[in-house]
Amino acid sequence: MKAMRIALTKGRLESSTTKLMERSGLDCTALRDKGRKLILPIGDGLEAVLAKAGDVITYLEHGVCDLGVVGKDVIMERGGQFFEILDLQFGKCSFALAAPEGADFYGGYGRKTIATKYPNVARRFFQSKNMDVRVIKIEGSVELAPLLSLADGIVDLVETGATLRENGLRVVEPVAEVSARLIVNAASLKLRKREIEDLAARLEAHLDK
Ligand code: PRP
């Protein structure tokens, strides 16, 4: 039978993903020592590919990978046609609205400007408050925007809070909790239900809770 293919997000989530798969009894030698090879056999009829978070979702949507591991942040921003079947309990952080220390973010009548890497998440958050804001998309180091007076606030991921603190910013309001999720292509979930459920159960039994 054709190998099931799982797309893993490289970078931040990579080592926790490998550890979880190892605890679950999968052979992650190829993942730990990957060289230049892009499709990596991990035993038990499974193959892994490492990809950028957005690409993990693209591969699933096009049906070239059956399963994926991706952060809820990317799922919330991109959406897409797939099923989210398991909270993997690592890569935990949160989306928050932050503004300069001492500033009254909700004060005044002027339209506020928000800088973010996650414009859809930010727009939805302010829509839910019936608040009309201007959203500016930034690719990285979003914390700079209020310091440069480009924005009144930011919607960004906060893990330890150190980046905010060191730049004179504070959380105004939490937006959403984030962690890594196991996602599945819709057709695969029908056609390979048993295999997918077995793998999900195996991973769930070895989560680091
Ligand atoms: C993320 C996020 C914050 C920081 C939060 O950035 O955008 O800047 O981590 O972490 P902390 O609360 O522990 O300080 P990342 O490192 O992914 O880089 P980026 O700024 O280029 O997006």
Please tell me the pTM assigned to this model.
0.94
Q: What is the CATH number of the domain that holds 156?
A: 3.40.190.10
Angle at 123 between CA 91 and CA 82, to 5 degrees: 50
Query: Whose Cα sits closest to atom 20 in ligand 1?
Result: 141
Residues of the chain with pLDDT below 70 are none
Residues 61 and 99 placed together within one structural domain of the fold: no
Residues 85 and 115 placed together within one structural domain of the fold: no
What pLDDT sits at residue 36?
86
Tens digit of each residue's pLDDT (9 = 90 or more) over 21-64? 999 999 999 999 888 888 999 988 899 999 999 999 999 999 99
- 22 within some domain: yes
Tens digit of each residue's pLDDT (9 = 90 or more) over 111-121? 999 999 999 99
Paired tokens of 87: 């909270």
The DSSP secondary structure of 26-39, one letter per residue, reads ---HHHHT-TT-SE
**What is the CB < 6 Å shell around ligand 1?**
117, 140-143, 156-163
| Rg, C-alpha atoms of the chain | 19
7 - beta bridge partners?
A: 49, 68
- 209 within some domain: no
115: containing domain: 93-177
The helix or strand, by DSSP H or E, that contains position 44, with its residue range, turns out to be none
